[in-house]
Amino acid sequence: MKFAIQVNEGPYQHQASDSAYQFTKAVLEKGHEIFRVFFYHDGVNNASRLTIPPQDDRHIVNRWTDLAKQYNLDLVVCVAAAQRRGMLDDNEAKRAGKDASNMAEGFRISGLGQLIEAGIQADRLVVFGD
C-alpha cells in the first residue's frame, strides 16, 4: 500500500510529530511505500536544523532526516506555512534578503500542490495533528 503523510504539529508541543514518525517508520519496515511526508501549519517546525533538544530527549528533526536518508523519503515543507514561521531554505532566504537558512538536511520547501499530488498518488493520506 502507498501512503502519504501530513504532519500539522511541531516536534515538541504535541504528540502528532512523534506519532507520524513512528507510523511512517512502521509502514516502511512492513514493506509499504511512503509517497511523501508533507509538513504543514506548525508541522513545518519539524524541519528546523536549529532544534537542540536536551541530551536525554529524542531529536525528532534528526529522526526525520535519518529516516529520509534510509528510505529516500520526500520530506516537503509548505512554503507559505514555513515563511510565516521563519523556516527558510537557502533559496527562500536569498529571495527574502535574509542572511541565513535554517532548513534541516533532507527537507525541501514547496507548495500545497505537493500535498494535493500526494493525496492523489497515494492509496491513503494519513493526517497527524489538527
Strands 75-78 and 33-39: parallel
Rounded-to-integer distance, Cα 50 and Cα 45, Å: 10
Which of 50, 52, 42 shows the shortest CA–CA distance to 7? Answer: 42
Grid coordinates 502519504 are at which residue?
4
- Which grid cell sits at 55? 541530551
| 78 part of the active site | yes
Q: Which of 129, 127, 124, 87 is nearest to 108 (CA)?
A: 87
Which residue in the list 60, 78, 79, 122 is annotated as catalytic?
78
Q: Cell numbers at residue 33, please? A: 511505500
Query: Angle at CA 126, nearest 5°, toward 75 and 9?
Result: 65
Q: Please identify every residue annotated as catalytic.
A: 78
